[in-house]
Amino acid sequence: MSSVIVLGIIGLPNAGKSTLFSMISGIDEGTSEHPFSTIRPRRSFIEIPDPLATKVAKQMQLQSVAPLGAEFVDVGGLVEGSSSGKGIGNQFLNVIRNADILVQVLNCYDPEAEVSPQRAVEIVDQELRDADLAIIEKALKDLDKRVEKHRDSVLALSNPMDEDLDSMLLLRPLLDGIRNTLKSGRNPYWEIIQSEVASAKLSEWHRLFKIVPQLLSIKHRYYVCNGDTDSDDIEVGSSACSVITCFNLIEEERVPFLHAFFSRTNFQSMGLGRFFTIEGEQVQSWFFYQGADVLEASGIIHPDIMKNFIKAEVYPWKAVERHYKVSDGDILRFVFSK
Ligand SMILES: Nc1nc2c(ncn2[C@@H]2O[C@H](COP(=O)(O)OP(=O)(O)OP(=O)(O)O)[C@@H](O)[C@H]2O)c(=O)[nH]1
Ligand SMILES: [Mg+2]
C-alpha cells in the first residue's frame, strides 16, 4: 500500500475494457472489434485530486495537497474456464492480483451480445473464485507440509520452537472457512473477511500468509455498464462491496467518471484506511491495511524510515509507541535516524 491505488480493469472479451482504459489514460490505441485484442497488460498512471487530504489541509491551514495516484491496468478478456487455463485470461488473473480494486466493464452497448451483462457478472465471479480456490488449496497443502516437517524435527529434538507455525495454525480455521465458502460458490468477503476487518485481525493475515491481498474474489468490485442500460436490472449481490455506474466511455466523461469512482468507493469496507503526513506545506495521504501499527505505517512511506524508526507522533502532536494501531484519518509524523 502506498498513496497509489491500483485498479485492474476486467471483463469478458469485447466488453470495452480497453475503451475505458483509453478514456482514462488518454492513450488512444488498443481497442479493437476482435475479441482478445489485448494480449499484453497495459498500465497507465494518473493523478487525481484528493478530497480527504484537502480537508486535512484546511484543518492544518496548509496550502497544498499531493494528488492521489491511481494506476489503471488493462488486461485481456476473461472467459468461462480462464482460471483453469482457457483463453488467455489465466495469465491476466495473476497480473491483477496486486490490484486494490477490480473494475469490471459490462457490455451494455450491444443488446445482441452472446452473453448478457448479468451472465458476465456471474462468469467473472466464478472465475475469480476458482482462481482463489487454487491459491487457498495450495496454502493449506504448504501448511500441512510444514506441520509434518515440524513434527519430524520435534521428534528428532532438533528444532522444538516454531512460533510462526503456531500462529499460522491458529489461522488455519479461517483458511478452511474461505475454502469452503469458495467451494460452495459464495463470496468469502461477507462471511469471513468482513468480520476479520472489523476485529482488525486482517493485518495479521497479511503478515502471515501474504495471501489475502492476493485473493481476487474478495477485492472491492466496481462495475461499469458500458452503454445505456438500467443498472437496476443487474444483480451484483455476490461481490464484495460493489458499486455500479453507467457510462458511455467517451473522453468527455473522463472527469465525471473518475470523480464518481473515488467518491463512491468505500475504502474502509475494503479493509483499507488512509493516514496523512505533512511535508513542508503539503499534505500527502497514504493507504494502509486496517490493523497496521505506526511502525508498519512508516514502512509504507519508505522502508528506510521503518528501518531507522525512532518514534511516531499523532496529531494533535503526541508521541505514541510503535505498536500504536493507526486509525483511519490519523495525521502522523515520524522521527527516524538518518
Ligand atoms: N457501439 C459501441 N461500441 C463499443 C462501445 N464500447 C466499446 N465498443 C467497441 O467494442 C469493441 C471492443 O472494445 P474494446 O475496448 O477493445 O474491448 P475489450 O474489453 O478491451 O476487449 P478485449 O481486449 O478483446 O478483451 C471495439 O470495437 C469498440 O469500438 C460502445 O459503448 N458502443
Ligand atoms: Mg482490450
pLDDT tens-digit series, residues 119-163: 999 899 899 999 999 989 988 898 888 888 877 766 666 555 566
Give the residue from 175, 239, 185 showing the smallest Cα distance to 205.
175
Per-residue DSSP letters for 18-81? HHHHHHHH-------SSTT---S-EEEEEEE--HHHHHHHHHHT-SEEPPEEEEEEE-PPP-TT
31 found inside a domain: yes
Give the residue from 142, 134, 115, 108 showing the smallest Cα distance to 217.
134
61 found inside a domain: no
Q: How far apart are CA 241 and CA 235, in angstroms?
A: 13
Q: Which CATH number covers residue 294? A: 3.10.20.30
Q: How far apart are CA 80 and CA 98, in angstroms?
A: 22
Which of these three, 166, 188, 214, is where a domain ends?
214
Residues near ion ligand 2 (CB < 5 Å) are 17-18, 38
Q: Which CATH number covers residue 99? A: 3.40.50.300
Return the residue matching grid coordinates 457490455.
107
Mutate to test the pocket of ligand 1, among 24, 28, 29, 32 (most ligand atoms within 8 A of CB): 32
Residues 262 and 278 in one domain: no
Q: How far apart are CA 243 and CA 236, in angstroms?
A: 9
**ω into residue 316 within 30 of 0, thus cis?**
yes
Per-residue pLDDT at 273: 84
Distance 44 CA to ligand 2 centre (A): 14
Q: Is the CB of 76 under 6 A from ligand 1?
A: yes
Residues 264 and 185 in one domain: no
Domain that holds residue 205: 126-214
79 found inside a domain: yes
Residues 139 and 168 in one domain: yes
Mind listing the pLDDT tens digit of every residue in the chain (338 residues)? Answer: 457 888 899 999 999 999 888 888 877 766 677 777 777 788 998 887 778 889 999 999 998 988 888 899 998 888 888 777 766 666 778 888 888 888 999 998 888 889 988 899 989 989 999 999 998 998 889 888 888 887 776 666 655 556 667 767 777 887 888 899 999 988 877 666 666 655 656 566 666 566 676 889 888 788 888 877 665 667 765 554 555 666 666 556 677 777 777 666 667 766 678 899 999 999 999 988 777 889 989 998 998 999 999 999 999 999 999 999 999 999 999 999 98
Give the residue from 25, 26, 69, 22 showing the smallest Cα distance to 47.
69
Residues 229 and 315 in one domain: no
Closest residue (by CA) to atom 11 of ligand 1? 33
Q: Is the CB of 271 under 6 A from ligand 1?
A: no
CA 162 centroid distance within chain? 31
Which of these three, 166, 181, 214, is where a domain ends?
214
Closest residue (by CA) to atom 21 of ligand 1? 14
Which of these three, 270, 289, 307, is where a domain ends?
270
> Which residues lie below 8 Å from residue 308, measured CB to CB, with a gap of 6+?
336, 337, 338
Per-residue DSSP letters for 226-254? ESS--GGG---TTSTT-EEEEE---GGGH
Q: Is the CB of 16 under 6 A from ligand 1?
A: yes
Residues 22 and 108 in one domain: yes
Which helix (H) or strand (E) element contains residue 100?
Answer: none
Q: Is the CB of 277 under 6 A from ligand 1?
A: no
Residues 28 and 81 in one domain: yes
Per-residue pLDDT at 1: 45
Residues 262 and 283 in one domain: no
pLDDT in tens, 2-28: 578 888 999 999 999 998 888 888 777
Distance 213 CA to ligand 1 centre (A): 30
42 found inside a domain: yes
Contact between 87 and 14 (Cβ < 8 Å): no
Question: How many domains does the structure of the chain reveal?
Answer: 3
